[in-house]
C-alpha cells in the first residue's frame, strides 16, 4: 500500500461517515447482517471435540461467501473486517489458530467459548461477538463462575448500550461496566476496550476502556455526539480481570500504514503484496495467506510493517465472557445493528439489586435494535454453502 492509497483511505474515512445518508446505512446494515449470520452459524457448530481452527476457518468462509455475492460493480471493496477468533475459558481475545502450527485447541464440555468476527462493505465495518458454554446436559442450567461471568458480561453490555446516547460520556459507560461486573463478583478485563469506528478505520482515539488505565493507556474523556459508530466490546472475568500475554503466538495482524521499509526477503515482499492487495487496512489471520508467503510475516512484523494482536490470558482458574456489538449514533437516536443471540442456559447465585444503578438503567427504554437478515434475503443458504455467481446489491 503506497502513500497515495493511505491518503485515499484517510479521505474516505473523514468524509463518508454520514449516518443520515441511506446509502451509508445500507452498507452498515449489510455488513452487520453478514457478520451476524456468520456468528450464528459458527455458534451452532460449537461442540465437544471440535477444533477451534476449523471453526475459525468456517466463520471466515461464511463472510467471504456472502461478500462475494454483493456489490460486484464498480470494484467496491468488501470482505472480512475482523477474522473469526475463538477464545476459550481464560483466554481473553484474538485467538485464531492456523491449524498447522501445533497451536490449536479442542473444545470440551464445560468450556466457556467466546466467538468474535466482523465484515465490511465498502469500508463500513460491523463486528459481533457472543459467549456460550458447552453444556453436556442442556436441560440443566450451568452454574458457578461460568454462569456468574456470563451474566455479568451480558448485563454490563446492556447497561453500557443504554448509556451510549448523545450527551452521555465514555466515563459513564466505564462506571456502569465496573458496577455490573461487581454485582456478580466479577471484574472487567484489563487492556480491553470498546472504540469508535469509521469507514476503513477499526479504531479511533475515542475509547471506552473496560478498565481505565491512565498509566499505560491514557484515554481522553468525551461525550457521544451524532454521526458516530462504535464497536461495543465487553469482556468480563470471573477473577481479578488482570490479563497477560500468553504463550500462543499471534496469528492476527493488521497492516501498519504509517511504516515503510525496503524489504530484503522475497517471501516478505510477496507476503506484503498479498496483504496489501487482499486485506488493505483490515486485520487478517496468517491462516488466510498463501502458505509460501507465511514465512515472510516474521520479517514484516520485525520491521513494524505489521501490527500483531497478541493473545492475552487471565489466570488459568478464571473464566472470561464477551459480548460484542456494533452501535450507530445518529441525530434520531442510537441503534444496535448486530442483534443479540440467545443466551446460554445459566443460573447465577447473584442477582441485581432493585435499588442499584444497573437495575435503573436496565429498566429504561433500550436503544433501537435492527432485526438482522433482511439485507441477505436475496442470498440463499445453498449459495453460501457453495458460492456461485450471485446477485449484485448496488446503488
Q: What is the DSSP letter of 258?
A: T
Task: Spell out the residues 6+ positions from residue 75 whose beta carbon is closer than 8 angstroms to its own.
Answer: none
What does the pLDDT read at residue 134?
A: 98
DSSP string, 191-256: T-EEEEEBTTBS--S-EEESS-BTTTB-----B--SSEEEEEEEEEESS----EE-SSPP-EEEE-
Nearest-CA neighbor of 333 among 246, 260, 229, 226? 226
Cell numbers placing 22:
441511506
What does the pLDDT read at residue 217?
A: 78
**Strand, coil or helix: what is 82?**
strand
What does the pLDDT read at residue 101?
A: 64
Number of CB atoms found within 10 A of residue 111's CB: 20
Nearest-CA neighbor of 250 among 314, 313, 311? 311
Q: Residue 68, Cα to own-chain centre: how many angstroms?
A: 21
What does the pLDDT read at residue 10?
A: 52
Task: Spell out the residues 6+ positions from residue 325 whose beta carbon is closer than 8 angstroms to its own.
Answer: 127, 128, 129, 157, 161, 231, 232, 336, 338, 340
What does the pLDDT read at residue 215?
A: 77
Q: 187-219 burial, b for 16+ CB within 10 Å, e for fewer?
A: bbbbbbbbbbbbbbbbeeebbbbbbbeeeeeeb
- Please give the chain's pLDDT, 395 residues, in tens: 444 554 555 555 556 788 999 999 999 999 999 999 999 999 999 999 999 999 999 999 999 999 999 999 888 999 999 999 999 999 999 999 988 767 789 999 999 999 999 999 999 999 999 999 999 999 999 999 999 999 999 999 999 999 999 999 999 999 999 999 999 999 999 999 999 999 999 999 999 999 998 777 788 999 999 999 999 999 999 999 999 999 899 999 999 888 887 888 788 888 889 988 899 999 999 999 888 888 888 889 888 989 999 999 999 999 999 999 999 999 999 999 999 999 999 999 999 999 999 999 999 987 888 876 666 655 544 443 433 223 333 43
Q: 357-380 burial, b for 16+ CB within 10 Å, e for fewer?
A: bbeebeeeeebeebebeebbeebe
CB-based contact 187:180 (threshold 8 Å): no
Beta-bridged to residue 194, according to DSSP, are 208
What does the pLDDT read at residue 260?
A: 81
* Full set of structural domains in the chain with CATH: 3-250+309-385 (3.90.230.10)
Strands lying side by side in the sheet with 91-93? 91-93, 312-313, 244-245
Amino acid at each position: 500500500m503506497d502513500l497515495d492509497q493511505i491518503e485515499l483511505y484517510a479521505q474516505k474515512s473523514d468524509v463518508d461517515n454520514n449516518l443520515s445518508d441511506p446509502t451509508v446505512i445500507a452498507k452498515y446494515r449489510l455488513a452487520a447482517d453478514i457478520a451476524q449470520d456468520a456468528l450464528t452459524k459458527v455458534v451452532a457448530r460449537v461442540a465437544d471435540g471440535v477444533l477451534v481452527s476449523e471453526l475459525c476457518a468456517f466463520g471466515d468462509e461464511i463472510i467471504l461467501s456472502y461478500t462475494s455475492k454483493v456489490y460486484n460493480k464498480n470494484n467496491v471493496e468488501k470482505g472480512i473486517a475482523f477474522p473469526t477468533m475463538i477464545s476459550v475459558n481464560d483466554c481473553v481475545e484474538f485467538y485464531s489458530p492456523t491449524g498447522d502450527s501445533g497451536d490449536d485447541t479442542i473444545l470440551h464440555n464445560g468450556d466457556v467459548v467466546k466467538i468474535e468476527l466482523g465484515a465490511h462493505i465498502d469500508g463500513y465495518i460491523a463486528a459481533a461477538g457472543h459467549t456460550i458454554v458447552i453444556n453436556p446436559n442442556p436441560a440443566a442450567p450451568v452454574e458457578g463462575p461460568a454462569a456468574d461471568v456470563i451474566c455479568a458480561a451480558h448485563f454490563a453490555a446492556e447497561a453500557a448500550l443504554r448509556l451510549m446516547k448523545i450527551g452521555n460520556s465514555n466515563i459513564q459507560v466505564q462506571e456502569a461496566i465496573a458496577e455490573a461486573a461487581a454485582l456478580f463478583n466479577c471484574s472487567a478485563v484489563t487492556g480491553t476496550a470498546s472504540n469508535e469506528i469509521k469507514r476503513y478505520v477499526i479504531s479511533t482515539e475515542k475509547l471506552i476502556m473496560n478498565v481505565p488505565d491512565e498509566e499505560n493507556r491514557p484515554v481522553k474523556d468525551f461525550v457521544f455526539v451524532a454521526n458516530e459508530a462504535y464497536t461495543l466490546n465487553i469482556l468480563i472475568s470471573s477473577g481479578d480481570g488482570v490479563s497477560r500475554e500468553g504463550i500462543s503466538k499471534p496469528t492476527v495482524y493488521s497492516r501498519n500504514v504509517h511504516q515503510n521499509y525496503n524489504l530484503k526477503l522475497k517471501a516478505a515482499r510477496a507476503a506484503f503484496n498479498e496483504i496489501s492487495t487482499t486485506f488493505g487496512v483490515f486485520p487478517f489471520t496468517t491462516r488466510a495467506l498463501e502458505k509460501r508467503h507465511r514465512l515472510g510475516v516474521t520479517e514484516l512484523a520485525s520491521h513494524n510493517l505489521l501490527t500483531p494482536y497478541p493473545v492475552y490470558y487471565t489466570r488459568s482458574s478464571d473464566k472470561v465472557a464477551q459480548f460484542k456489538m456494533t452501535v450507530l449514533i445518529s441525530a434520531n437516536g442510537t441503534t444496535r445493528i448486530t442483534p443479540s443471540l440467545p443466551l446460554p442456559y445459566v443460573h447465577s447465585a447473584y442477582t441485581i439489586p432493585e435499588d442499584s444503578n444497573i437495575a435503573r438503567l436496565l429498566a429504561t427504554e433500550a436503544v433501537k435494535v435492527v432485526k438482522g437478515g433482511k439485507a441477505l434475503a436475496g442470498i440463499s443458504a445453498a449459495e453460501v454453502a457453495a458460492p456461485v455467481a450471485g446477485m449484485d446489491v448496488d446503488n
